[in-house]
């Protein structure tokens, strides 16, 4: 059996995440301490106690989720110093959905804990500052038709694109508000069961994030990136990030590009992965993976009980 570790992105967060794990496992508590020191404020308190409005602010959500995911992984590994060796022994590939890719890169030894958490803090700040456009979930329509409709209503001053290819029948679009509204009408006429506006602050994973991506690229260029020791499947092309250059290019470009989660899971299945372990709060990815690869074994690990096995 071949196993992959996967890490969720924004949307998986919930007040209280990681508290029981940190209380039960010193290795997890150590990750939170290191995150607090790296950020200069208590992200641990925001994870454990909220308030919800603070946790759901993008600039806090992103470091909070990566910290929690790495804390859970450290608990599984038996210490922060064992994260990479544990991943190498237990998984043949790793991937993360959107910001979860930073956790995957840390698990593979490409980023340090502190750098991964600091980068997503900057990423969250830049994305929140964009403060333009919106997003909507499209339920029950095939991706090719969604792509076609988005292209048909887009022009240089008002555009909409697919941001997340999450699972068959569940896709997220992103862009200018007017373009989303126009696309929503056509998507429903084309047979979409629902088009649901999302409560987000900006048009993530779209060209409207171009300035954020450019600024993030400068920060990534100053960050130490190591060769991944475990195969990391990137969001943009759903193929392995084969070297340091590929990782460095992926991280800023990912901000403006679609998350190709269907292709990511399909690629791993085609290359022999039969078991997926979701590491993080909740079961968001487990639900998506079961729709993409119904025959795969899927496990979610995010509580002390699940860590103990």
Q: How far apart are CA 117 and CA 64, in angstroms?
A: 8
CA distance 144 to 47: 38
Residues 67 and 81 both lie in one domain: yes
Catalytic residue among 13, 44, 97, 98: 98
Identify the domain containing residue 145 by its residue range. 132-200
98 catalytic, yes or no? Answer: yes
Q: What pLDDT is attached to residue 1? A: 64
Q: Which of 153, 173, 200 is the last residue of a domain?
A: 200
Global confidence as pTM: 0.97
We report the CATH number of the domain holding residue 190 as: 3.30.70.250
Query: Is 231 found in the same domain as 138?
Result: no
Judgement on whether residues 49 and 102 belong to the same structural domain of the protein:
yes
| 74 shares its domain with 88 | yes
Q: Same domain for 26 and 107?
A: yes
Residues 10 and 32 in one domain: yes
Q: How many CB atoms lie within 10 A of CB 44?
A: 22
CA distances from 216 to 62, 110, 159, 243, 306 (A): 14, 17, 23, 19, 35
pLDDT at 201 over 90: no
Same domain as 193, residue 256: no
Tokens of 281: 């709060």
pLDDT at 78: 97
Neighbours of 155 (CB within 10 A): 8
- Asked whether the beta carbons of 225 and 112 are under 8 A apart, the reply is no
Q: Which of 112, 205, 257, 300 is catalytic?
A: 205
Helix residue spans in the chain (DSSP H): 19-24, 26-39, 43-49, 52-55, 58-77, 83-90, 100-107, 113-130, 143-153, 177-189, 210-221, 244-253, 261-270, 284-292, 304-308
Could you report the per-residue pLDDT of 32-90, keeping only the tens digit for each?
999 999 999 999 999 999 999 999 999 999 999 999 999 999 999 999 999 999 999 99
How many structural domains are present in the chain? Answer: 2
pLDDT tens, 130-167? Answer: 888 999 999 999 999 999 999 999 999 999 999 999 99
Residue 304 has pLDDT above 80, yes or no: yes
- Provide, rounded to the nearest whole percent, the portion of the chain with pLDDT above 70: 100
Which tens digit of pLDDT belongs to each residue from 249-271? 999 999 999 999 999 999 999 99
Mean pLDDT lowest for which of 149-153, 196-200, 273-277?
Answer: 196-200
Question: Does one domain contain both 239 and 107?
Answer: yes
pLDDT of 301 higher than 80: yes
d(CA 8, CA 97): 5
Give the Cα-Cα-Cα angle 263, 119, 208 (nearest 5 degrees). Answer: 60
**Domain limit, last residue, from 200, 225, 247:** 200
Q: For the packed helices 284-292 and 261-270, what is the interaxial angle rounded to 10 degrees? A: 60
- Same domain assignment for residues 293 and 156: no
Q: Does the pLDDT at position 241 exceed 90?
A: yes
257 catalytic? Reply is: no
Using pLDDT thresholds of 50, 70 and 90, give the confidence band for residue 281: very high
- Which CATH number do you get for residue 280? 3.40.366.10
Of 181, 200, 219, the residue that ends a domain is 200
The closest alpha carbon to 179, from 162, 199, 167, 193, belongs to 162
Same domain, 141 and 268: no
- The average confidence (pLDDT) of the chain is 97
255 and 171, same structural domain? no
State percent of the chain over pLDDT 90. 97
For the segment 3-16, the average pLDDT, to the nearest whole number, is: 96
Question: Does one domain contain both 23 and 109?
Answer: yes
């Amino acid at each position: 059996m071949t196993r992959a570790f996967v890490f969720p992105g924004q949307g998986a967060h919930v007040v209280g995440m990681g508290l029981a794990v940190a209380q039960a496992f010193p290795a997890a508590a150590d990750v939170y301490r290191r995150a607090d020191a790296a950020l200069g404020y208590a992200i641990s308190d925001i994870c454990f106690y909220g308030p919800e409005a603070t946790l759901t602010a993008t600039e806090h959500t992103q470091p909070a989720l990566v910290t929690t995911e790495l804390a859970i992984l450290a608990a599984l590994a038996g210490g922060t110093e064992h994260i990479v060796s544990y991943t190498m022994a237990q998984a043949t590939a790793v991937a993360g959905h959107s910001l979860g890719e930073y956790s995957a890169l840390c698990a593979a030894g490409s980023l340090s804990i502190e750098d991964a958490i600091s980068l997503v803090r900057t990423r969250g700040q830049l994305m929140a500052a964009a403060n333009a456009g919106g997003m909507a979930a499209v339920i029950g329509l095939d991706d090719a038709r969604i792509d076609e409709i988005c292209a048909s209503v887009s022009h240089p001053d008002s555009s909409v694109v697919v941001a997340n290819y999450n699972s068959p029948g569940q896709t997220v679009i992103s862009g200018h508000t007017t373009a989303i509204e126009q696309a929503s009408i056509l998507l429903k006429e084309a047979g979409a069961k629902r088009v649901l506006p999302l409560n987000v602050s900006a048009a993530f994973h779209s060209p409207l994030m171009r300035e954020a991506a450019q600024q993030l690229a400068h920060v990534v260029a100053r960050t130490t990136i190591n060769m991944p020791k475990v195969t990391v499947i990137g969001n943009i092309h759903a193929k392995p990030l084969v070297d340091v250059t590929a990782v460095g290019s992926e991280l800023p470009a990912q901000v403006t590009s679609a998350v190709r989660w269907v292709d990511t899971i399909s690629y791993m299945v085609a290359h022999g992965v039969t078991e997926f372990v979701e590491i993080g709060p909740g079961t968001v990815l487990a639900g998506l993976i079961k729709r993409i690869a119904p025959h795969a074994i899927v496990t979610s690990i995010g509580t002390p009980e699940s860590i103990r096995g």
